[in-house]
Amino acid sequence: MIKRVIRVDKRKILEEIKEIAFAVGKIQLEYFRKQGISIQRKSSSIDLVTQVDKACEYYIIKRLKENYEFSILSEEAGIISRSSDYQWVIDPLDGTNNYASGYPIFCVSIALMKGDETILGVVYVPIIDEMYTAIQGEGAFINDQKMNVSYKKNLNECLLATGFPYDRNTNEANNINYFAYFTPKIRGIRRSGSAAFDLVNVANGILDGFWEINLSLWDIAAAQLMIKEAGGIVKRLKNKRGFSIIAGSEVIVQKLDEGIERVDKND
């Protein structure tokens, strides 16, 4: 099948996606901490999906299909191909476990990719009304204010974030060894339960660095562009499963990478 050549007005698209993300945030807030929300298990007892995930995803996909003929990859719906060079990558509710428990850290993440590159990204955190945006080559912003990554040089000055894979009780590649190595060497560590939330805080210089193993593309697609546009880097870890990454300034990413290599050699 021949792929259509499509001209993309990224600034116009960004405004439309911000509006979609804001509407999805309203859905999330409407049902947050309400009794009777349907919660189902996916791959394990800690890998959950709620009716709100599905409602948000339905809304996003419906709006995108109405306005664009791009392919779609979404966490719950999977791949929806429309034979395009461009692909939407959607996490309708990042932080589902948090949301299901009433813990107020969750967000919506929408990215537009061309091939392997993210060219546009939006992450909206409704509980604190923070809209993170980026267009490739045009910088990264929080509520229209420009962001920059932290430029701390030493790990003992750094506040880092990480997370753990859903199969951590059955797979030894579960990040616990890296967590134990880094924790005594840094100023502090956070585990928010939302990779997208952590990554946008790296882009904004609130967190100094991040690492995690076995993420999915929808977890990182939008936020990785924001980190790059904010002066940082996102590095894929070699020989790790899924999307295993380190993020932050070049200096901190190098130090994290060296630490992970050291742990791997001693295991």
* 223 part of a folded domain: yes
Mean pLDDT for 235-241 is 89
CB-facing half-sphere around the CA of 218: CA atoms within 13 A: 21
What are the phi and psi torsion angles at 70 (to 5°)? Answer: -95, 155
Q: Is the pLDDT of residue 1 over 70?
A: no
Q: Maximum Cα–Cα distance for the chain, whole Å?
A: 55
Segment 48-95, tens digit of pLDDT = 468 999 999 999 999 999 999 999 999 888 888 877 899 999 999 999
* 236 part of a folded domain: yes
Segment 151-200, tens digit of pLDDT = 999 999 999 999 998 776 776 788 999 999 999 999 999 999 999 999 99
Task: Mark whether 118 and 188 lie in a shared domain.
Answer: no
Domain finish residue from 129, 146, 163? 146
Range(s) of the domain holding residue 123: 10-146
Mean pLDDT for 219-234 is 98
Name the nearest CA neighbour of 111 among 122, 125, 95, 96. 122
Q: Is the pLDDT of residue 22 over 90?
A: yes
Mean pLDDT for 211-218 is 96
DSSP code per residue over 51-71: HHHHHHHHHHHHHHHHH---E
Cβ burial 227-246 (10 Å sphere, 16+ → b, else e) = bbbbbbbbbebeebeebbbb
pLDDT of residue 49: 66
Domain finish residue from 146, 166, 190? 146
* 4 part of a folded domain: no
Task: Mark whether 91 and 200 lie in a shared domain.
Answer: no
CATH number of residue 78's parent domain: 3.30.540.10
* 1 part of a folded domain: no
CATH number of residue 248's parent domain: 3.40.190.80
Count: domains in the chain: 2
Task: Mark whether 116 and 202 lie in a shared domain.
Answer: no
pLDDT of residue 5: 44
Task: Mark whether 56 and 159 lie in a shared domain.
Answer: no
What's the mean per-residue pLDDT of the chain? Answer: 91
Instruction: Report d(CA 215, CA 203) in Å as an integer.
Output: 18
> What pLDDT band is residue 4 in, cutting at 50, 70 and 90?
very low
Task: Mark whether 182 and 224 lie in a shared domain.
Answer: yes
Task: Mark whether 30 and 141 lie in a shared domain.
Answer: yes
* 56 part of a folded domain: yes
Domain finish residue from 126, 146, 166? 146
Instruction: Report d(CA 90, CA 61) in Å as an integer.
Output: 9
Task: Mark whether 118 and 172 lie in a shared domain.
Answer: no
Task: Mark whether 189 and 116 lie in a shared domain.
Answer: no
Task: Mark whether 141 and 160 lie in a shared domain.
Answer: no
* 5 part of a folded domain: no
Q: Is the pLDDT of residue 34 over 70?
A: yes
Task: Mark whether 69 and 166 lie in a shared domain.
Answer: no
DSSP 156: G
Q: Is 63 left (phi over 0), alpha (psi -120 to 50) or beta?
A: alpha
End-to-end CA distance of the chain: 48
Task: Mark whether 68 and 160 lie in a shared domain.
Answer: no
In this structure, the number of other CB atoms found within 10 A of the CB of residue 129 comes to 11
Task: Mark whether 125 and 166 lie in a shared domain.
Answer: no
Segment 122-153, tens digit of pLDDT = 999 999 999 999 999 999 999 999 999 999 99
pLDDT of residue 6: 55
Mean pLDDT for 193-210 is 98
* 207 part of a folded domain: yes
* 3 part of a folded domain: no
> What pLDDT band is residue 7 in, cutting at 50, 70 and 90?
low
